[in-house]
Amino acid sequence: MAYTQQKKICLLVEDDIDDQELFDLCLKKTGKNVICSKCNNGAEALNLLKSDPDYVPDVIFLDVNMPKMNGLECLQKIREMTRFNNTRIFVYSTTSDNMIEKKSKDLGAQGFIAKTTRLEELIIQLEGIFASVETM
Amino acid sequence: MTNDLIKALKKAAGKTDLYRKMIEEIEDYAIILMDKHGFIQDWNRGAQKIKGYTEEEIIGKHFSIFYLPDDLESGLPGRLITEARKNGRAGSEGWRRRKDGSQFWGSITITAIHDDEGEVIGFSKVTRDLTEKKKAEDKLRMSEQRYHKMVAEIQDYAITLLDENGIIENWNSGAEKIKGYTASEILGKSFEIFYTKSDRESGLPKRLLQTAREKGKAIQEGYRVRKDGSRFWGTIVITALHGNDGKVIGFSKVTRDLTQQKLAEDQLKAYTKELEFQNIELEQFAYVASHDLQEPLRKIQTFAHLILENYDDKEFVKRYFEKLGMSAKRMSDLVKSLLEYSRLSKDMNEDSSKQIKVDLNELLSEARQDFELLIQERKAVIIAGKLPVVRGKRTQLGQLFSNLISNSLKFSKEDPVIRIESTLVKREEIVNEKEKLKYKNYYKITFSDNGIGFEQQYDKVIFSLFQRLHGKQDYAGTGIGLALCKKIVENHEGVINTVSEPGKGATFNVYLPVIGQVKALTAERDVK
């Protein structure tokens, strides 16, 4: 389908520049056609999403622990905006805490990705996510 | 003469045999006929029953045979006869003696018998045995006496009797002990005297009486005032007392001094609060340990994997080795910060007597020296007024000054200006965390800068452990500095708050209590 050729839009909300870099590295390895923008915290992400009505990412990745506004708060605010009803949101965090995973789902996240020491795991997860986005 | 009396009597009273029989057979009263000197002439069945003599034994004996030695000595029988002769009758109640020596409580009426000319010719003596009634009365009286004694001597409860308007009518020793007034000082006064001024003004005592009037009783706990003006925590039960017609005729008021229990309870509450607070801290600590410390560790492992996978790419390896080193350093910084923080928590539980007088002016000049290079480099200016001497831990307060100054230097734009000033404020003037303020007066020490500032909504987050408002790449640090400041201020029973606006600098207000004599030493220089 012509669709599948189209670039997918992704937003990574992450305050740690190392983690931003590692994410990019993995995304590249998936070979998917994705443009990934970055914000350093939840507040910055909300400003971006509110400022441009045409900007609707296909997928948003939210770190949890960030200055100013944490990922869960940001998730809640995004889900309040109907414009992003089709946007898939994944919470992406070091904290392997069941409560945070549950809260993410309750707030409307499609999934929870734990930051691991093996980048292969992240690559496989990203491949899966973008494969399903392509068939949307 | 004796025969005359019997004749006269028979003529006067016993005209019929039936009448005589009636008197003879009455069992509950001893009816005795005596001559005018008190010698017994006739005797009925009741007399035999009550006094134990047979008719043969007693006839001709003087009636004083029934009297006890003391009464005989005092001449009671003679007095009774004289009185009956004079007034027509004489009555008496008292202990009398039976034939067997046992005693009974007799109620006696002696009535004079007159002949047609009005001359006393003899006496009738009617005696009733009221021993049982007397015993019951005595028992009741004893019981009442004991009851009064009991109420009077109870020490642990103030038991007062109030009239229907709340005027004190009775006062026990417990009341004296608890409230300090003697009975003579307090009787006739209103019970409102025990209430605090504000309770009196709000009408509490009147409301309590009204409740007791309507519902039978009123129960209340609260502070009351002793004679010397000191306060005690009392639990009070006011019970309405009703007359036979159901109307309220007064109140009983039982007060117990539970000051010690109240203090213990309050202390327990404070401990619980303290524990809850420490629990929250512990949770925060656990979260920090699980998240913040895990982050650099995870990165170190990831970088190590990446280096191994790209071992041939020299540039790549160099770059990621550097990153690995930085993560390790960050980990080490975090562990150090945590240690520092936990040491402060431990310090807090130590004996407060270790606190000494600390001159904040000295701390400031030490901080100036520590930051000398940075101050020069940034072209910073620190303008300070006279600072007070406070009671506290020198090293901790030094760290407080150092952290706040370093914070202002770090988040500054060009030419930082830091102002440090002190004023004396009353507790009521402090807006935040009022529940933590135990002292009347506080030194307000303000640290204001002209730096980048922050949005006011982050004024709480900013003091949390490892919470940062800026990315690690923008401003260095672990996010512990202000958390430490808060902890230090709390260790000194003070509070800290902050006011800011982005781009317009930040002000940190530290409130430290004015304790005891320190005030006298420094008040002069503070209150300008």
Q: Quick one: three-class SS letters along B229-266?
A: CCEEEEEEEEEEEECCCCCEEEEEEEEEECHHHHHHHH
pLDDT at A1 over 50: no
Q: Report the distance separating Cα A117 and Cα B299, nearest Å.
A: 7
Q: Do A68 and B458 touch (CB under 8 A)?
A: yes
Q: Which amino acid is at B292?
A: D
Per-residue pLDDT, B11: 62
Is A6-96+108-130 a domain of CATH 3.30.830.10?
no
Q: CB contacts < 8 Å between A and B, how many? A: 45
| Phi and psi angles of residue A39, each rounded to the nearest 5 degrees, phi first | -130, 150
CATH topology of domain B2-135: Beta-Lactamase (3.30.450)
Contacts (Cβ under 8 Å, ≥6 apart) of B155: B173, B174, B177
Per-residue pLDDT, A2: 44
- Chain A nearest C-alpha distance from B212 (Å): 54
Q: How many CA atoms lie within 13 A of B198 on its CB side?
A: 2
- Chain A nearest C-alpha distance from B348 (Å): 29
Which residues in chain B come in under a pLDDT of 70?
Answer: 1-16, 289, 345-354, 472-473, 516-528
What letter would DSSP give residue B414? S
Q: Contact, B251 vs B241, CB < 8 A?
A: yes
Q: How many CA atoms lie within 13 A of B332 on its CB side?
A: 6
Per-residue pLDDT, B139: 92
pTM value is 0.55
ipTM: 0.84
**Chain B CB contacts of A15 below 8 Å:** 471-472
Nearest to B469 among A17, A25, A68 (CB): A68
Q: Report the distance separating Cα B278 and Cα B33, nearest Å.
A: 98
Give one word for B261, left, alpha or beta, with left for phi > 0 and alpha for psi -120 to 50. Answer: alpha
CATH topology of domain B350-528: Heat Shock Protein 90 (3.30.565)
Does B154-257 match B350-528 in CATH topology?
A: no
Nearest to B305 among A16, A18, A117 (CB): A117
Q: Do B471 and A18 touch (CB under 8 A)?
A: no
Q: Contact, B26 vs B49, CB < 8 A?
A: no
Place of tokens 């898939």: A88
Tell me the mean pLDDT in the region A8-34: 91
State both tokens at B519: 């005030």
Mean pLDDT of chain A, nearest integer: 88
Handedness of CA A63, A68, B401, B519 (dihedral sign): negative
pLDDT band at A65 (very low <50, low <70, confident <90, very high): confident
> Smallest Cα–Cα separation from B437: which of B511, B328, B351, B352?
B511
Superfamily of domain B154-257: PAS domain (3.30.450.20)
Q: Do B295 and A16 touch (CB under 8 A)?
A: yes
